[in-house]
Amino acid sequence: MSIETGPAPTEPQQVQVRAQLSLSTVAARNLATTTKSEPQMQGISSRWLLRALPWVQVSGGTYRVNRRLSYAVGRGRVTFAKTGSQVRVVPPSLREVPVLRDVEDEALLGELASRFTQRDVAAGEVLVEAGQPIDEIFLIAHGKINKVGLGKYGEAAVLGHLADGDHLGDEAIQQSDALWEYTVKAATAGTVLTMPWAAFNAMLERSPELREQVEQFIADSGQAQNQHGEAEIELAAGHEGEHDLPSTFVDYELAPREYELSVAQTVLRVHSRVADLFNDPMNQIEQQLKLTIEALRERQEYELVNNEDFGLLANADYEQRIQTHSGPPTPDDLDELLSMRRETSHLFAHPKAIAAFGRECSKRGIYFGSVDVGGHHIPAWRGVPIFPCGKIPVADGHTSSIIAMRAGESNQGVIGLHQTGIPDEYEPGLNVRFMGINEKAVISYLVSAYYSAAILVPDALGVLENVEVSRAHD
């Protein structure tokens, strides 16, 4: 047996190593002082709302909004509980129906809630026809409902939109043999809860408290009042000669709303070794404090939009909330929003809502312009700037809201509230207080920001709700 072998091995080659002629960049970097940036933070936004609000000094920590006496009660939103396919009204939320606003008996509200029956409606279904007697109360649990009437020349016209939590038919309490002044038609599929007036009248006969509340509501509705529901001021105009002039006085609300300053706080901790040894070229405590304050200001703006007690979205009057005509925000929707108040000075929308409005304008061949605000070109509609505000929520990634407001205390608008001159103040309305050093040599600082917002009259703030921001599939 023979074994084949490969070629004979060659002699090893000699590798020439060149001598290093200069210091390498890797070694030099260890001895060099780097050029560095200050600590950066991705969560910083433009915070246009904080810039736009006129800030009013609240020395006593509480701001009281005095208004003329008003008999009109805003129509609130009823809430519902859903179990599977079954929907029921939450009894305490029935107080959002004006005639039930002062009912204190929870059992009575529970019995009224049990009288409502669920009804599913299809898109385009007519619930009631104009001219028919009002014999039912409707609560809208889900979906959009249109009120359709006749225009000046007999054409069909949409008079208004209703959505989740709205109600209609209860206005018949103020008159006998009331008729529907418009047709009620479902714009989308949805769910409504209905109660016959006969069932309500049966409860009225059995409950003295309910009867008393209804009588008081009717009495308040019969008082002389202007179109805003305020107590009327009697005047005379256009008369000649020695005409008997009316006498009058301006009545005020007996229990005006008071806004207390809210607070956002955190405790900043810095180890003393860091503060002592690593303060060159940047002061570590200052840099830590700077980013902490940025986070507090971001939270402040979020609360001004979303807080249940004083946030703009939660405290907008229900009469100042409107629905979109078709889903996406159209020029018609923004025109209607602007028409609800005088001198709208600001519009705020999520960037996705602004993009959706731009798409709708492009479909119509409309270009919305811009205005200069402090050197920034801000998109505008009818001359009113539309400021981006990422704090406005986008529900389920599909729908958002657009806020319109008139700002300023002298203009009876929306104002921000803060208190300056507080102890250890670092910025207006924000202070930094030294809390000491613990046994682990950690320095602590309490950082606090005090703020709130007030809506001086209901029409100072309006909201376009259920704004579709997702792009339609082509």
In the predicted structure, residue 339 carries a pLDDT above the cut 60: yes
What pLDDT does residue 75 have? 58
In the predicted structure, residue 223 carries a pLDDT above the cut 50: yes
Torsion of CA 289, 291, 292, 296, to 10 degrees: 130
More confident residue, 322 or 101: 322
What pLDDT does residue 2 have? 45
Question: What confidence tier does 1 reach under pLDDT thresholds 50, 70, 90?
Answer: very low
What pLDDT does residue 101 have? 80
What pLDDT does residue 15 have? 58
Give 405-415 pLDDT, tens digit per residue.
999 999 999 99
In the predicted structure, residue 221 carries a pLDDT above the cut 70: no
Query: By the 8 A CB rule, do 88 and 282 touch?
Result: no
The arithmetic mean of pLDDT across residues 108-133, rounded, is: 89
What pLDDT does residue 72 have? 44
What pLDDT does residue 331 have? 94
In the predicted structure, residue 306 carries a pLDDT above the cut 90: yes
Query: By the 8 A CB rule, do 116 and 203 touch?
Result: no
More confident residue, 148 or 23: 148
What pLDDT does residue 427 have? 94
In the predicted structure, residue 121 carries a pLDDT above the cut 70: yes
What pLDDT does residue 298 have? 96
* Closest by Cα among 439, 250, 447, 228 to 341: 228
Tokens 């389920």 belong to residue: 396
What pLDDT does residue 423 have? 94
The arithmetic mean of pLDDT across residues 137-144, rounded, is: 88
Name the token pair of 279: 């303060």
- Distance CA(395)–CA(163), nearest Å, equals 15
In the predicted structure, residue 104 carries a pLDDT above the cut 90: no
The arithmetic mean of pLDDT across residues 43-61, rounded, is: 93
Q: What percent of the chain has pLDDT over 70?
A: 85
Mean pLDDT for all residues in the chain = 85
What pLDDT does residue 146 have? 87
The arithmetic mean of pLDDT across residues 247-251, rounded, is: 63
What pLDDT does residue 419 have? 96
In the predicted structure, residue 264 carries a pLDDT above the cut 90: yes
Tokens 């009109």 belong to residue: 72
Give 373-400 pLDDT, tens digit per residue.
989 999 999 999 999 999 999 988 789 9
Q: Who's near 66: CB < 8 A, 6+ residues apart? A: 252, 253, 256
Question: What confidence tier does 340 reach under pLDDT thresholds 50, 70, 90?
Answer: very high
Question: What confidence tier does 123 reach under pLDDT thresholds 50, 70, 90?
Answer: confident
In the predicted structure, residue 176 carries a pLDDT above the cut 80: no
Question: What confidence tier does 235 reach under pLDDT thresholds 50, 70, 90?
Answer: low
Question: What confidence tier does 208 reach under pLDDT thresholds 50, 70, 90?
Answer: confident
- Distance CA(83)–CA(118), nearest Å, equals 13
Return the half-sphere exposure (C-beta side, CA atoms, 13 A cut-off) of residue 201.
8
Name the token pair of 280: 């060159």
- The Cβ of residue 398 has, within 10 Å, a number of other Cβ atoms equal to 13
